[in-house]
Each structure stands twice: as structure tokens, then as C-alpha cells.
Amino acid sequence: MEPGVQSNAAAAAAAPEFPPKKLVRQLDFTANFGTLPAAAAQSQAHATAAMQSQVATSSRTSISMPLKIESPRSRSRPVYDVKDGTPKKQKQCNCKHSRCLKLYCECFASGVHCDGCNCVNCCNNVENEAVRQEAVGLTLERNPNAFRPKIGNSPHSIRDIREDSAEFALVGKHNKGCHCKKSNCLKKYCECFQANILCSENCKCIDCKNFDGSEERRALFHGDHPNNLSYMQQAANAALNGAIGSSGYVSSPSLKKKLKGLPFGTSAKDQAIHRVAQLNQVNPLKTSGTAPPGNPVARAVNSASSGSSKLVYRPLLADIVQPEDVKELCKLLVVVSAEAAKTFSDRKVHEEKHKQKGDQTESSHALSNQDGDHNKKALPDDRSSGTTSDKMSTEEFTSDSTEMQKGSRPMSPGTLALMCDEQDTMLMTSQNSGAPPRFLYDQSVTEVYAEQERCVLTEFRDCLQKLITRAKVKEEKYASMAMKSEASSSQQGPVINGNARVPMPSPAELLRSSNTFPISFHNFLPPKLGRSTTENGNIDSKTENLDL
């Protein structure tokens, strides 16, 4: 053992042998100490308080820092055992040369004292608190954000990332981004991968494979990888961040990712584009600042020529399928359902009247009375007494729909779901007052439900098919553009005027054009929902952000 090198325990008792080279200033980390949560008065309170106070002071912002601030590495450290999912003790560091006073040390970077680590000559402990705090100050001097979370821009907090297992970390984004060169961002060398998040436009990695739709990544997670859940969650995240809504990688999706991430399968054209992207040998998520915003290929080529820019990923349906659209669709389906019920009832009434006429003329001496009446009433279509109530119930359906139609109040999917229950209740109530026997009434209800289900599913299918068709058109367009650009690699791809893009209608538009349902979907749109359409129904170029 070389002089000065001692075990953690020994170092704890001894004075530091390597005083910091230069401490720019002595920080008063106790200033805000009293404002910390009580829990902070634990073993790591000093460090955390110091960092929180320092960060708050330096950034002048109110930051909700996790009590335990973790370094990128430690933050993504497997707090939960990857294999069995059981809680795992925090890993101990093995530092030898940093005295655990630099960010190389996971413990130090995490803002915690070394405890039971295998480090040598450790100063990251209570006994060396002064030295430690000086090191903290020095580190913060160098980088005020040194102890701040690196995974941000996420609806899930760092706490989620740390505590709720890796699956939930996928939504985040590395603030600084990684700079990987050889690992394809598919090994734990990569901070993004380690944090279980996709690389973003912040990254400067080379030959990145850590993007949504990456086959390599998929293979990694889909195969025998123990993190299948992570992959699935990632797919969900991708859908939320990209395909639906405008969050996520809205500002920087890549063509490569986009086409590979399509749910419609990958064609040869896709792969051509993928190759174009790969030619860049850089993170496909990084956008070029000079490429025409409306032309993914130009961007790709531009990016390839510059060698320093990255492609931008944009899902085909980004900003097209919005949460509001989903709500709209829900509303439409409810209306479809109501209409189906009404139509069904009317038809049955009509048929029954027909039938009754025939019966009366056919057998004027029909069986009397109670049995006959019962039979009649028993018929689901019999409206002599039960009809009224049934009809009323369907009218109430319609009435509700009409109210919605007036746009009195948009209903959430949850409300709509509850409405189904209400409708159940209404039907049941009508049964009680109307008197048809229960089993026959159930039969009627079942038929109505079947009809409603059929209509709803049909409508839903049609909507999805239209959406898919439009996406395919756009996909093929971009694919052909990429192929052309690949063929003429020396020159830029076809520059596409932003106005000449293939307009991607929103689901609302698709639904509006639907011929499977007589009621105009547009009637149910709250004014706000016309957000992305112009007067003539075209997608507004300002809001239609498919301008790759």
C-alpha cells in the first residue's frame, strides 16, 4: 500500500493528507440548514443542505430538490435489483484516487457520505466534513449544477426515477445529454441508458441506438433482457411523448427514429432513410439548426454534410393526435352508441307494429289476456306499455347527446364511462315501471347493447383506418424523399416547401369526413378543438407540426 493510501475507516480517523489544491471560497453551508426538512438532519444532511443551499443561491430559483441528491450515475444506479425487483442496498464506491471528494465518486456526487464503501483514503465522511464541504464548494464553483438532477423535463420526478423502479424513468431526458462514442448508448456506460431513458437532442453521442424504434434497443429489451417491462413502458412513453400530444421530443425528433418507430412496419424505404440517418454517425435525435424545417431529408443530408448535427425525430402523428382528439373520439362514440340505441329501438317499434297489425288481422280470436299480454309485453319490441319507458330511455340517450352537441360541457372519458352505468340504471328503472318481465327485458337490453357495440366498434375502426392511411401516405412520401437523397448523396434532397407538405388531418377531421355516421362530428367539437384547423378544414401550418 502506497503512502497515503488507507482504508475508508482509517481515513475517517485521520486528517486528510491531500488538502484541496485550491479552494476558491469557503462556503457557508449552514446558512439554510434550518429550513431543511427534518429528515435532512440525518447522516447526509450536511451534504444535502450544502448543495441545496448552494444550488438555490447560485441559480436564484426555487428548486424542489430531492432530499437525496444523486449523481447521474448513482441516480440511475440500480436501487432495485434488475433481476428480481427487490430493493437493493445502495452500491458502495471503490474510489482510490479521488478521496471521494470529486464527482467521480458516486457517493459524493449523490450528496451522501461514504458508508461501508470500499474506497481508499476517503474524505467523504463526517470526520472530514470541513474538507468535504470545501470540495463541495469547489465542485459547485466549477459547475453550479453539479449536484442537480441530470434527468429532467419529465412529468415524473427524479424521485419517481429513483424510487419507482426504472420503468418510470423513461419519460425523462438527460439535461446535458451523453457523449457516447462506442457504446451505441446501449450500455451502462451511457448515462441515458443507465437512467433508462432515451437519448435526446441534448445528447452528442455517436451512432446512437438508444432511441425509440431502435431495433438494437428493442432486441436488447425484447430478447432475454430482464427489463422487458422497461421496453414496454418506453413504448408507452414514446406514444405519449410523440404520437399523442406535443411533448416529448417535439422539438427534435429524428427522421430515423420516426420511420423506425412507426407502428405500420418498416419498409425498404424506411430502411433507406434509416441508412441516411446512420450515415451521419451521430445521435439521430439532434437537429440541425440550418436544415429547412419542413424537410427531413434536407435535414438529414445537411446533417450528414456538416457532420456535427443530428437528425430530428418526429412521429408521424405528432401533434396530430392530441388528448383533446381522444376526448372528441370518446364523445363521438357515445353519440354513435346513443344513435344506435335509438335507431335500434325505432326499428323494433316499427317491426312490432307491423307484426301486431298482422296478428290482429290474422287471429281476431286470439288467446286472451293475461298470457297474451304478458307475451306481448314480454317481447322486447312491444311498446304497448314498456315501449314508452324504453323509448324514453333511448330518448334520454339522445337528449344527453344533444346536450353534448350543444357543447354545454365536454365530458371526460371517465364521465362517459359513468354515463354508461347511468344508462344501465335508466334502462333498469324503466323496466321496473314498465313491467315487462325481467328476463325478456334483459334480452332487449342485450340486443340494444349488441347493436351499440357493433356501431361503436365499427366507427372506431373506421377512424383508426383513416388515420393509418394518412400516416402511411406521409410515411411513403418521406421515405421516397430519403431514397432520392440517398441516390444523389452529393446534393441535397428535394427541398420541400413547407406549404407543400402532405397535410395530416387530425382525428377530428378524419371523423368529420367519416361517412359511416350521419351526425357531423364537427357538431360536437367545442370551439377550442378546432385549434389545428383552418377555416377550410386544412391543418394550420402553424400548429401542424409535422414539418420535419
Could you list the residues that contact DNA (CB under 7 A)? 21, 71-73, 77, 91, 93-98, 100, 102-106, 109, 139, 142-143, 146, 176, 178-183, 185, 187-191, 194
CA atoms of 32 and 81, how far apart (whole Å): 36
In angstroms, what is the minimal distance from the CB of 109 to DNA?
A: 7
> Would strands 173-174 and 151-152 be described as parallel, antiparallel, or unpaired?
antiparallel
Q: Which is nearer to DNA, 114 or 239 (CB)?
A: 114
Least distance between DNA and beta carbon 123 (Å): 11
Q: Helices 268-279 and 296-306 sit at what angle, rounded to 10 degrees?
A: 30
Residue 303 and residue 492 in contact, taking contact as beta carbons nearer than 8 Å: no
Least gap, CB of 307 to DNA (angstroms)? 13
Q: How far is the CB of 459 from DNA (least distance, A)?
A: 48
Count of alpha carbons within 13 Å of 275, Cβ hemisphere only?
Answer: 15
Residues 6+ apart with CB under 8 A from 449: none
The answer for residues whose C-beta is within 8 angstroms of residue 385's C-beta and 6 or more apart is 377, 434, 435, 436
CB atoms closer than 10 angstroms to residue 446: 11
Contacts of 97 by beta carbon, 8 Å cutoff, 6+ apart:
none
What minimum distance in Å lies between the beta carbon of 78 and DNA? 8
Q: Which is nearer to DNA, 139 or 288 (CB)?
A: 139
Per the rule left: phi > 0, alpha: psi between -120 and 50, beta: everything else, 28 is beta
Task: Please state the closest distance from residue 62 (CB atom) to DNA, in A.
Answer: 23
DSSP H or E run through 73: helix 72-75
* Distance of alpha carbon 521 from alpha carbon 416, whole angstroms: 17
> Rounded to whole angstroms, how far apart are CA atoms 161 and 532?
34
Q: How far is the CB of 183 from DNA (least distance, A)?
A: 3
With respect to DNA, which residue has the nearer C-beta, 200 or 452? 200
Task: Report how far residue 510's alpha carbon sits from residue 471's, in angstroms, rounded to the nearest whole number.
Answer: 12
CA-wise closest residue to 147 among 177, 119, 106, 116: 106
If the CB atoms of residues 146 and 301 are measured against DNA, the closer one turns out to be: 146
Q: How far is the CB of 52 from DNA (least distance, A)?
A: 18
The answer to whether the beta carbons of residues 286 and 309 sit under 8 Å apart is: yes
Comparing CB distances to DNA, the nearer of 102 and 522 is 102
Q: Which residues of 469-492 are buried (b: 16+ CB within 10 A; e: fewer)?
A: ebbeebbeebbebbbebbeeeeeb
Nearer to DNA, 33 or 189 (CB): 189
- Helix H, strand E, coil C: the string for 349-371 is HHHHHHHHHHHHHHCCCCCCHHH
**Which residue, 98 or 393, is less far from DNA as judged by CB?**
98
| Nearest to DNA of 79, 511 (CB atom) | 79
The residue among 221 and 344 lying less far from DNA, judged by its C-beta, is 221
State the nearest-atom distance from the C-beta of 70 to DNA, in Å.
11
Provide the minimum distance between the beta carbon of 195 and DNA in the complex, in angstroms, as a whole number. 11
Rounded CA gap, 56 and 32, in Å?
A: 10
Nearer to DNA, 82 or 487 (CB): 82
